[in-house]
């Protein structure tokens, strides 16, 4: 997903992309590599007429009256188009001024496009006071678009602090210098006793707020570059043929492209949240974690842009290394954006410092105030449930459809997306616990969708009450993620089926009363056909469960042997030979669940932050820790955005595949970091000790990139279903 989610934001993004594609095609970019673009650029008037120069500025100064989130959407599209000239620096400068005073008189010309501004994130300027006047001296290096701007918003050391000051370009010495990206010119700026009044000092803009604003908007442009690189690499991989087939069919290329969209999606989620945080603070919301959200975005977005641009070149091969190809333009832009943040190591440090000192920014879905009546009704119902005696409460919750409220009545509440969110929030805030479904949560939707009335009545009520425990009998020794290759055989007999085979990696089978079982009922059919979905009584004669002791020494998984097990016809779920369709329903629920959760046998993000808070780490370790926290926080944001997509009826599987791929790897990273910090004490294995506890986490973490579909399978899903790359032959 791009930054935009709701309809209005999608329309804005589409409108901007249309303008950019029309006004700044590839040939304009390449021409600008050789000849500087006019100032203002040819597209400037069109952008201003469309309101883009003032999309984030108040209507009273001629702007559109929107916020930083809308500006971030615009800048991401300008990044996607690698638009030349001063638009992005000018937008950032005007946002800094507006953060100080939304009614500043200098904003009118910036909103209309009559003036151009630029900014710097740090500088060597200092000021001394002479009455009501500041006298500024010093130099600012590599200011973007300084030579094209009439106003410069620059940080100045004043007294013992730092303030951003508006300076007129004609009072400064501006020395254009060669830019690594000719489309984003830069200049050194010098002030030689330049005098300005206090009215040009942005006293209401703190250093932290300025850095948060700048880094958020730069990150927005960066994710636009990353998205272009991903889309372009995938498009080329579809048509470029080598060895008689498209290169996108080769797994090495396919996985590279899938990783590109994964890191882009993660960075996009971080930018979306950072922009929301800035807007919330501007609206008066008390949020001490705007800087945290912005630092998370700045940790992830420029890296995503640079790595995706590099991988785009790699996918294109030799042609990607030519001056004439667009990859040249975007790689240069990615490098210049990354440099514009200043010291890259500062942002992970801010992430870890904030997380360990004041905590991370909360993650919540904003709801329309009109939903408060619905919230009051649900809150009252939750309170009534809480008043019921504990031994009766579970049944009441199950019978009222609260366990999985999105399901149709009577099993759920046919809850709308908004209602589902409110239900989850109110049960959490009311401290009313709903029965944990475990693996049954993946199977229930399949029973609802494909089960007979008799099956639903028999299995759903006790499952919702938590009385019926389920396991999933899909994987086999020779068919792990490739379920279509399963060999467990079901033979038709009078009144049912005789099933023989072996299942493996079956979580919790030793505790389960029932299992969801896939078996081949038509061996002559194509491998995706001829499979049937059965509901298996685990107490049936011929079922043997053998716990499988894993790397940790524990036995969460099992091998299940099926020796001529009889399953009656009425326990077939769905149609005979159509079990693949039913299993896809289960697998979608499984991967959405896995991707959106932190496994109980791994450290959570909060636990990792607690670990950091209690220890002492050098700067290299703190940098790595900051990256892991940023990744973990962004994974939660991705899950929230994926939830919005899922609740709206979208296809959850590809987004869930990205979430699982990244969040499981980050979870492994927490444990790897902790154990590596123990030095020689890392050999201690007693789980009662801090070292032994984290060692156990590390051992257990190796499973997370395997179960529920290996990372390699997730990469295939992402590449094929999100990027449209060809399937393996």
Name the range with the highest mean pLDDT among 32-36, 523-527, 534-538, 554-558: 534-538
- How many percent of the chain have pLDDT more than 70? 94
Residues linked to residue 148 through DSSP beta bridges, in sequence order: none
Do 572 and 451 lie in one domain? The reply is: yes
Do 573 and 595 lie in one domain? The reply is: no
Do 458 and 577 lie in one domain? The reply is: yes
- Domain harbouring 18, CATH code: 1.10.540.10
Do 489 and 579 lie in one domain? The reply is: yes
What dihedral angle (degrees, nearest 10) is formed by the CA atoms of 357, 363, 369, 371?
Answer: -140
- Please, which residues have CB within 8 angstroms of residue 431's CB and are 6 or more apart in sequence? 386
More confident residue, 503 or 659: 503
3-state DSSP helix/strand/coil % of the chain, to nearest 5 = 55, 15, 30
What tens digit of pLDDT does each residue of 536-584 get? Answer: 999 999 999 999 998 888 888 899 999 999 999 999 999 999 998 888 7
Do 374 and 490 lie in one domain? The reply is: no
Residue 387 lies in a domain: yes
Pairing relationship of beta strands 151-158 and 125-130 according to DSSP bridges? parallel
Q: What is the pLDDT of residue 247?
A: 94
Got the DSSP string for 65-96? Answer: ---HHHHHHHHHHHHHTT--SSHHHHHHHHHH
Residues 345, 289: Cα–Cα separation, whole Å? 19
In the structure encoding, which two tokens stand for residue 26, read together? Answer: 């590839």
Q: Is the separation of the CB atoms in 562 and 488 below 8 Å?
A: yes
With CA atoms as reference, report the closest residue to 12 among 76, 100, 97, 93: 76
Residue-number span of the structural domain to which 390 is assigned: 369-435
Residue 385 lies in a domain: yes
Choose the final residue of a domain: 173, 200, 227: 200
What tens digit of pLDDT does each residue of 303-342 get? Answer: 999 999 999 999 999 999 999 999 999 999 999 999 999 9
What tens digit of pLDDT does each residue of 585-623 get? Answer: 766 654 444 345 566 777 899 999 999 998 899 999 999
Do 451 and 576 lie in one domain? The reply is: yes
Question: 194-203, 465-474, 707-716 — which is least confidently predicted?
Answer: 707-716
Residue 188 lies in a domain: yes
Residue 273 lies in a domain: no
Residue 411 has pLDDT above 70, yes or no: yes
Do 615 and 644 lie in one domain? The reply is: yes
Got the DSSP string for 174-204? Answer: EEEE--SSTTS-EEEEEEEEEEEEGGGB-TT
Residue 225 lies in a domain: no
Report in angstroms the alpha-carbon separations of 495 from 309, 413, 453, 541, 565: 61, 36, 19, 16, 13
Residues 185, 176: Cα–Cα separation, whole Å? 8
Residue 138 lies in a domain: yes
pLDDT band at 12 (very low <50, low <70, confident <90, very high): very high
What tens digit of pLDDT does each residue of 78-104 get? Answer: 999 999 999 999 999 999 999 999 999
In the structure encoding, which two tokens stand for residue 280, read together? Answer: 């919330």
The conformational region for residue 505 under phi > 0 = left, psi -120 to 50 = alpha, else beta, is: left
- Domain harbouring 677, CATH code: 1.20.140.10
- Domain harbouring 143, CATH code: 2.40.110.10
Do 612 and 698 lie in one domain? The reply is: yes
Structural domains of the chain, count: 5
Do 456 and 568 lie in one domain? The reply is: yes
With CA atoms as reference, report the closest residue to 362 among 313, 292, 449, 420: 292
* Prediction pTM value: 0.88
Report in angstroms the alpha-carbon separations of 491 from 156, 159, 201, 521: 81, 86, 83, 6
The secondary structure of 539-606, three-state, reads: CCCCEEEEEECCCCCCCCEEEEEEEEEEEEHHHEECCCCEHHHHHHHHHHHHHHHHHCCCCCCCCCHH
235 — phi, psi (to 5°)?
-60, -40
pLDDT band at 478 (very low <50, low <70, confident <90, very high): confident
Choose the final residue of a domain: 390, 412, 435: 435
Q: Is the separation of the CB atoms in 298 and 219 below 8 Å?
A: yes
576 — phi, psi (to 5°)?
-60, 140
Q: What is the pLDDT of residue 593?
A: 45
Do 486 and 421 lie in one domain? The reply is: no
Do 617 and 561 lie in one domain? The reply is: no
Choose the final residue of a domain: 586, 606, 641: 586
What tens digit of pLDDT does each residue of 506-520 get? Answer: 989 999 999 999 999
Largest Cα–Cα distance in the chain?
Answer: 102
Residue 607 lies in a domain: yes
Mean pLDDT confidence for 716-727: 91
Q: Is the separation of the CB atoms in 96 and 153 below 8 Å?
A: yes
Residue 350 lies in a domain: no
Do 457 and 431 lie in one domain? The reply is: no
The burial class, CB within 10 Å (0-12 / 13-18 / 19+), for 577 is middle
- Please, which residues have CB within 8 angstroms of residue 223's CB and are 6 or more apart in sequence? 3, 76, 79, 264, 267, 268, 271, 301, 304, 305
Residues 630, 348: Cα–Cα separation, whole Å? 7
């Amino acid at each position: 997903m791009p930054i935009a989610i709701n309809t209005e934001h999608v329309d804005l993004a589409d409108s901007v992309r249309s303008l950019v594609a029309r006004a700044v095609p590839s040939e304009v970019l390449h021409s600008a590599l050789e000849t500087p673009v006019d100032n203002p650029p040819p597209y400037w008037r069109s952008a201003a007429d469309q309101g883009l120069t003032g999309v984030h500025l108040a209507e009273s100064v001629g702007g559109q009256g929107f916020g930083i989130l809308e500006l971030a959407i615009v800048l991401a599209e300008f990044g996607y188009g690698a638009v030349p000239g001063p638009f992005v620096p000018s937008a950032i400068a005007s946002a800094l001024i507006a953060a100080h005073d939304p009614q500043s008189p200098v904003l009118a010309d910036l909103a209309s496009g009559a003036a151009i501004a630029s900014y710097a994130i740090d500088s060597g300027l200092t000021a001394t006071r002479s009455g009501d006047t500041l006298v500024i001296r010093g130099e600012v290096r590599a200011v973007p678009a300084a030579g094209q701007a009439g106003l410069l918003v620059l940080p100045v050391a004043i007294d013992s602090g730092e303030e951003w000051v508006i300076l007129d370009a004609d009072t400064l010495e501006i020395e254009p210098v060669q830019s690594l990206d000719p489309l984003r010119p830069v200049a050194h700026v010098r002030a030689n006793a330049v005098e300005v009044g206090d009215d040009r000092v942005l006293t209401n803009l703190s250093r932290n707020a300025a850095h948060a604003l700048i880094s958020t908007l730069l990150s927005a442009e960066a994710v636009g570059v990353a998205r272009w690189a991903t889309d372009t690499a995938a498009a080329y991989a579809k048509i470029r043929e080598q060895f008689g087939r498209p290169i996108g069919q080769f797994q090495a290329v396919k996985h590279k492209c899938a990783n590109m969209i994964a890191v882009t999606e993660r960075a996009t989620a971080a930018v979306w949240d950072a922009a929301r945080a800035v807007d919330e603070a501007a609206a008066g919301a008390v949020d001490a974690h705007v800087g945290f959200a912005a630092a998370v975005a700045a940790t992830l977005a420029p890296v995503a842009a640079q790595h995706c641009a590099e991988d785009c070149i790699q996918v294109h091969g030799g042609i990607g290394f030519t001056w004439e190809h667009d990859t040249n333009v975007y790689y240069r832009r990615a490098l210049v954006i990354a440099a514009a943040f200043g010291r890259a190591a500062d942002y992970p440090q801010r992430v870890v410092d904030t997380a360990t000192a004041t905590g991370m920014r909360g993650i919540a879905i904003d709801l329309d105030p009109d939903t408060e009546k619905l919230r009051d009704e649900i809150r009252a119902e939750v309170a009534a449930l809480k008043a019921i005696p504990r031994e009766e409460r579970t049944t009441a919750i199950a019978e009222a459809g609260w366990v999985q409220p999105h399901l149709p009545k009577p099993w759920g509440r046919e809850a709308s997306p908004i209602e589902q969110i409110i239900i989850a929030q109110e049960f959490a805030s009311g401290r009313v616990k709903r029965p944990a479904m475990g693996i049954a949560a993946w199977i229930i939707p399949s029973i609802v969708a494909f089960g007979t009335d008799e099956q639903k009545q028999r299995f759903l009520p006790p499952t919702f009450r938590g009385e019926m425990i389920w396991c999933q009998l899909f994987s086999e020794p020779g068919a792990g993620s490739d379920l279509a290759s399963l060999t467990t055989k079901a033979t038709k007999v009078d009144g049912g089926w005789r099933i023989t085979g072996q299942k493996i990696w079956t979580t919790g089978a030793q505790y389960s009363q029932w299992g969801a079982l896939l078996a081949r009922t038509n061996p002559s059919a194509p491998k995706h056909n001829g499979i049937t979905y059965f509901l298996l009584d685990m107490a049936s004669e011929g079922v043997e469960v053998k716990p499988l002791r894993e790397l940790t020494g524990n036995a969460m998984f099992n091998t299940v042997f099926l020796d001529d097990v009889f399953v009656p016809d009425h326990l077939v779920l769905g149609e005979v030979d159509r079990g693949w369709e039913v299993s896809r329903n289960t697998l979608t629920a499984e991967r959405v669940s896995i991707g959106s959760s932190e496994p109980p046998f791994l450290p959570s993000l909060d636990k990792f932050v607690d670990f950091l808070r209690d220890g002492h780490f050098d700067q290299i370790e703190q940098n790595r820790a900051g990256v892991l926290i940023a990744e973990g926080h962004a994974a939660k944001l991705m899950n929230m955005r994926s939830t919005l997509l899922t609740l709206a009826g979208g296809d959850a599987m590809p987004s869930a595949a990205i979430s699982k791929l990244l969040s499981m790897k980050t979870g492994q990273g927490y444990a790897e970091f902790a154990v590596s910090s123990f030095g020689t004490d890392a050999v201690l294995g007693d789980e009662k000790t801090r070292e032994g506890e984290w060692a156990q986490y590390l051992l257990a973490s190796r499973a997370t990139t395997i179960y529920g579909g290996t990372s390699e399978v997730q990469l295939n899903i992402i590449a094929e279903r999100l990027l449209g790359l060809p399937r393996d032959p």
